[in-house]
Amino acid sequence: MSESPASRASHDALDARDSPDSRDALDSLVEKRSIDVVPDAERHGTAFSQFTLWLGANLQITAVVTGALAVVFGAGAFWSIIALLLGNLLGGAVMALHSAQGPRLGLPQMISSRAQFGVRGAIVPLLLVIVMYVGFFASGSVLAGQAVGELTHLGDTTGIILFALVTGVAAAVGYRLIHTLGRIAGVVCALAFVYLGIRLLDRTDLATLLHDRTFDFPLFLLAVSLSASWQLAFGPYVADYSRYLPRTTSPKATFSWTLAGTVLGSQWSMTFGALAAAAAGHAFVGNEVSYIVGLGGGAAVITSLLYFVIALGKLTINVLNTYGGFMSMVTSISGFRGNATLSPRGRAAYIAGIMVAGTAVALLGKDSFLSSFKDFLLFLLTFFTPWSAINLVDYYAIAKERYDIPALSDPGGRYGAWRWKALSTYAVGVLAQLPFLSTHFYTGPLVAPLGGADISWLVGLAIPAALYWLLAHRDTAHVPDHMVLAPEPSPDRPYATEPG
């Protein structure tokens, strides 16, 4: 049956810039791949797609709250904004280095961890990554649920559940829709933030908001840590969204466009959050969504549009979290079960698991969101900075971008089932941070001598990077002479087998 003009126009609009060619334009929008290598024939798009995706993913309410936290916990807006920018640049650079791996490997981010940790040993960071996805899904659903609840007049609880269902459907559709959402959210949310910024400055003089120049080093470092942790938490899934780019895509271009999008989007949102918190004072805490919507002026149409924008911005990032969680769950199980076909029902089951777990956490924690979210961000950083350091040192400095991709699925292959140098380095990296960690439920003994500053994330990057280099840089027997690619799919087996 031939495709109707209306259907073809709709399909082309969804494919937008990322359409590979006319043949792929006829394919289903629903993604068929998960953790298998993307063949060169299916690669498409340009590095600029990373800018639009990460701009849209960061122009959203949770990033606003992250920026506001620096002011809520005692810093002035002036130094908070500078500290947030520093953290976004530092964390964003690390995150973008992971993004540059995507076109080269054609794999989701966490599968590359098997080269360092072993095919089965990679489950150690993977389990923590899954916890991260559930946590971010939950935190995003709390804020988006407030917006959906107000928009539909059904309340927060129903709003959270409705938002979770839409997120699950979008994640099941997959890669193309995710990038489309990023482009749409980037434009819509940018316009909304311009409008809200103007409204905020109509209420309060900018010079007044920035008047307090008191410098408090521990609070400055807290703000740096908040934005750095925001960026570093993208590391375990950033390559998931660059892996369809052509293998010839310049790593520099992928790095640069990813960095530009994520820093611009997050800094824009966080700066607005810091200024809003400075203007609102205690009125901001516990009323984040209603305060921001209230800046719109009170007209019913404007209010509804702003609630919609908040929900749209959160939909983009929550789909990323759900999709990444699905990938990580599949990767974890495949390390022990081997390869098997992943049916559409199996894919839906994985995504539903992430959705249900995240929604449950959101409903349980929605009344203590703000303080819990700050501790959640800093606690996550403890576990992901060592992973990030090990992965980047191995990929860029030891293997030098030479991986045996088929061996990443073979516990008996060159990478083995467990690689103890990486696992022990990871454990040391986590433990080394504890004396410097400051949260409500745990404060390390070296925090007070540093004036209350939390520098655990710096320790978590530096020590594992140095230790892994010392332990592994001479042990290169498992490193191939060149990149070993996976066989291209054959006509009778168009898709590689996947765990299910």
Give residue 204's region: left, alpha or beta (phi > 0; psi -120 to 50). Answer: beta
Beta bridge partners of 3: none
The two three-digit tokens of residue 249, written as one number? 């895509």
CA 269 remoteness from chain centre: 15
CB atoms within 10 A of CB 15: 18
The two three-digit tokens of residue 439, written as one number? 């949260």
Once rounded to an integer, what is the mean pLDDT over residues 61-71?
87
Instruction: Please give the Cα distance from 288 to 61 (Å, whole number).
Output: 9
Answer whether residue 321 shows pLDDT above 50: yes
What are the pLDDT digits (tens) for 138-163?
877 887 887 888 888 888 888 888 88
Instruction: Please give the Cα distance from 281 to 284 (Å, whole number).
Output: 6
Confidence of residue 341 (pLDDT cuts 50, 70, 90): low
For residue 307, give the 3-state DSSP assignment: helix
What are the pLDDT digits (tens) for 81-125?
999 999 999 999 999 999 999 999 988 888 889 999 999 998 888
8 Å CB contact between 472 and 398: yes
Once rounded to an integer, what is the mean pLDDT over residues 22-49?
73
Confidence of residue 499 (pLDDT cuts 50, 70, 90): very low
pLDDT recorded at residue 386: 93
More confident residue, 112 or 22: 112
Confidence of residue 51 (pLDDT cuts 50, 70, 90): very high
Range of 50-54, 297-301, 331-335, 491-495 with top mean pLDDT: 50-54
Instruction: Please give the Cα distance from 436 to 457 (Å, whole number).
Output: 9
Q: Which of 496, 95, 139 is nearest to 330 (CA)?
A: 496
What are the pLDDT digits (tens) for 347-403?
778 888 888 888 888 887 666 655 566 566 667 778 888 999 999 999 999 999 999
pTM as predicted: 0.84
Lowest mean pLDDT among 8-22, 120-134, 462-476: 8-22
What are the pLDDT digits (tens) for 202-245?
888 888 888 888 898 888 988 998 899 889 888 888 998 999 99
What are the pLDDT digits (tens) for 398-457?
999 999 988 988 888 899 999 999 999 999 999 999 998 887 778 889 888 877 777 888
Beta bridge partners of 45: none
pLDDT recorded at residue 384: 84
8 Å CB contact between 273 and 67: yes
pLDDT recorded at residue 268: 96
Answer whether residue 16 shows pLDDT above 60: no
More confident residue, 371 or 15: 371
Instruction: Please give the Cα distance from 138 to 368 (Å, whole number).
Output: 12
In order, the DSSP letters of 318-346 are: HHHHHHHHHHHHHHHHHHHH------HHH
Answer whether residue 18 shows pLDDT above 90: no
CA 367 remoteness from chain centre: 24
Superfamily of domain 46-245+252-380: Hydantoin permease (1.10.4160.10)
8 Å CB contact between 331 and 111: yes
Confidence of residue 296 (pLDDT cuts 50, 70, 90): confident
Domain spans, the chain: 46-245+252-380
More confident residue, 315 or 97: 97
8 Å CB contact between 270 and 225: no
What are the pLDDT digits (tens) for 182-211?
899 889 999 999 999 999 988 888 888 888
In the block, tokens 């042990």 appear at 475
pLDDT recorded at residue 368: 63
Instruction: Please give the Cα distance from 28 to 174 (Å, whole number).
Output: 11
Percent of the chain with pLDDT over 70: 86
- The continuous run of DSSP H or E covering 81 comes out as helix 77-99
Q: Which of 375, 382, 373 is nearest to 455 (CA)?
A: 382
Confidence of residue 60 (pLDDT cuts 50, 70, 90): confident
Once rounded to an integer, what is the mean pLDDT over residues 255-267?
97
What are residue 261's phi and psi, to 5 degrees? -65, -45
pLDDT recorded at residue 374: 58
What residue type is 81 in one-letter code? I
Answer whether residue 22 shows pLDDT above 60: no
Whole-number CA gyration radius for the chain: 22
